[in-house]
Amino acid sequence: MMEQSSQQQPNLITTSARSSNSPTNYARTSQTNNKTTTRHNLSNQHRQNNRTPKPPYRCYRCDGSSIDGDAPTRLLNPSPIFILAKVNQVITKIMFDTGSAKSFIKKSILEQTNHVNIQFKQQSYLMADGSSTFNILGTTEIFIEFEKLCTSIIAGVVDTLCADCLLGMDYINKYYVNLNNKETQVQVHIQDIIVDLPMENTMKTINVPGRANAFTYFHPNQEKPIQIISHISSGHMLFSPADALKSKGLVTPHAIVPVVDHIATIFIYNSSMENQQLLYQEIVGEITPYCDTEFVSTIFDPRTRFSIDEDQSKSLTSTSETNIRSLLTHLDDQQDLAEAW
């Protein structure tokens, strides 16, 4: 893990004119080594040296993943990063997501605040699995305050989200945010000011069983769509198949699945040469909010704004296609290869 210089930069504060529509900045005090100091009582020399903060170094441990950008060889499970801050003057639990290009806020949270009018324009975002879509209702400017210092970002407004407010790379790059996991601190650069914020305890991982919604019969080498039901009402979730399916020769992958009215749809393939069955209410796998596992995050893909594969039957990324072809290299018969493809 690469670290910044061991010499800690002083925290600075200046005042500048702001428009009447933006919250006012106030000087604040900080507690360092049990001694209270006012941050704007620093020398002009320090102010000049720190006038333009440099982007923090970032290096992420790549255990179990390839270094050339391919898919990891095992699931990564870093802890999501949360802080508490005021969003539009209301204390909100905020999650930082380095895998998301954009920032989002839950509509129900936004409606509790005095907010800027929403610019209603539906757009579609593509999930990292390359097939699932993530819809937003519109955009609005939100104001995030850190100890009387104000930042802002244009955020997408959504009905469901794994956090009340999610700040993505657009915010992280704008304010040179440094996510210091070693010190469990988040550092935000606002003009020539460095604000240190403590990380909040992460949410517990919630694993909810997904059960078959109906009795299903499988012939050998047959694939069928299966509806599974869970206690989760809605949202995009990570589905993990149960080990019991493997003993029957039933195969289904880990996947991001949209849950609507407690129901999600997955595809199960009978790889055995015998008839198999799924009983009603039999546990098929586990459903987990994907922000708890950090396995994937939303990314913006402008190509999906106007062309969306609603049934997801043709949504195949180049990486997925390459992986599938590599799995079929053992087939010599061209007819078998064509049928499998």
**Tens-place pLDDT, residues 87-98:** 998 888 888 888
Q: What is the mean pLDDT of the chain?
A: 69
CATH class of residue range 29-198: mainly beta
Contact status, residue 208 vs residue 231, Cβ threshold 8 Å:
yes
Share of the chain above pLDDT 90, in %: 23
Rounded to whole angstroms, the Cα distance separating 259 from 325 reads 30
Please report, as a single letter, which amino acid is at residue 22: S
Rounded to whole angstroms, the Cα distance separating 112 from 143 reads 14
More confident residue, 249 or 81: 249
Q: Which residues of 202-235 are buried (b: 16+ CB within 10 A; e: fewer)?
A: ebeeeeeebbbbeebebeeeeeeebebbbebeeb
Scan for tokens 């650069």, then name that residue: 189
Would you state the pLDDT for residue 282? Answer: 92
Would you state the pLDDT for residue 83? Answer: 86
Beta bridge partners of 287: 208, 239
**Tens-place pLDDT, residues 23-45:** 444 334 344 344 333 344 433 33
Residue whose C-alpha is closest to residue 136's, from 88, 103, 113: 103
Would you state the pLDDT for residue 336? Answer: 64
Would you state the pLDDT for residue 121? Answer: 87
CA distances from 314 to 80, 93, 135, 307, 309 (A): 32, 37, 19, 12, 7
CA-based diameter of the chain, in Å? 80
Question: Residue 267 pLDDT more than 90?
Answer: yes
Q: Which of 127-131, 155-159, 227-231, 300-304 comes out lowest in average pLDDT?
A: 300-304
Would you state the pLDDT for residue 75? Answer: 41
Q: Give this prediction's pTM.
A: 0.42
pLDDT band at 9 (very low <50, low <70, confident <90, very high): very low
More confident residue, 193 or 139: 139
- Cα 4 to the chain's mean position, in Å? 25
Handedness of CA 301, 304, 310, 315 (dihedral sign): negative
Residue whose C-alpha is closest to residue 144's, from 111, 180, 103: 103
Contact status, residue 141 vs residue 87, Cβ threshold 8 Å:
no
CATH class of residue range 205-290: mainly beta
Beta bridge partners of 241: 285
Would you state the pLDDT for residue 189? Answer: 87
- Segment 14-22 long-range contacts (CB within 8 Å, at least 24 positions apart): 14/40, 14/47, 14/191, 14/192, 14/193, 16/191, 18/150, 22/143, 22/150, 22/152
Rounded to whole angstroms, the Cα distance separating 169 from 102 reads 6
Residue whose C-alpha is closest to residue 88's, from 141, 130, 139: 141
Mean predicted confidence (pLDDT) in 62-67: 36
Extents of the domains making up the chain: 29-198, 205-290
Question: Residue 109 pLDDT more than 70?
Answer: yes
Handedness of CA 261, 263, 264, 265 (dihedral sign): negative
Question: Residue 78 pLDDT more than 70?
Answer: no
The number of residues in the chain equals: 341
Would you state the pLDDT for residue 205? Answer: 54
